[in-house]
């Protein structure tokens, strides 16, 4: 688990054209860890949503996905 500061610094390293390839690789490890740390809570929410949604709608539709790395990088470059 990385601290908020480490995640923020990694984001800055990913968009810094002066970052070394080693810094970029380390930042990608942090980014992928950040994405995977959201996988379990997202899945838990999805399971509960699928359980409760039929009580509100006869034909509910739900989906889930983790944001893809290119989308994250695009937002960082913002």
The torsion angles phi and psi of 51, rounded to 5 degrees, stand at: -75, -40
Span 54-66, pLDDT tens digits:
999 999 999 999 9
Map 38-71 to HEC letters.
CHHHHHHHHHHHHHHHHHCCCCCCCCCCCCCHHH
This prediction has a pTM of 0.78
Give the separation between CA 33 and CA 28, rounded to whole angstroms: 8
Span 13-43, pLDDT tens digits:
999 999 999 999 999 999 999 999 999 999 9
Instruction: Report the domain count for the chain.
Output: 1
- Specify the pLDDT at position 27: 97
- Specify the pLDDT at position 70: 95
- Given a contact cutoff of 8 angstroms between Cβ atoms, the answer to whether 11 and 76 are in contact is yes
pLDDT bracket for residue 78 (50, 70, 90): confident
Structural domain span for residue 27? 4-77
């Amino acid at each position: 688990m990385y601290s908020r500061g480490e995640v923020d610094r990694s984001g800055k390293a990913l968009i810094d054209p002066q970052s070394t390839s080693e810094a970029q690789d380390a930042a990608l490890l942090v980014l992928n860890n950040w994405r995977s740390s959201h996988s379990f809570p997202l899945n838990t929410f999805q399971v509960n949503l699928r359980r409760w949604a039929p009580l509100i709608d006869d034909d509910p539709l739900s989906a889930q996905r983790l944001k893809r790395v290119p989308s994250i990088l695009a937002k960082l470059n913002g």
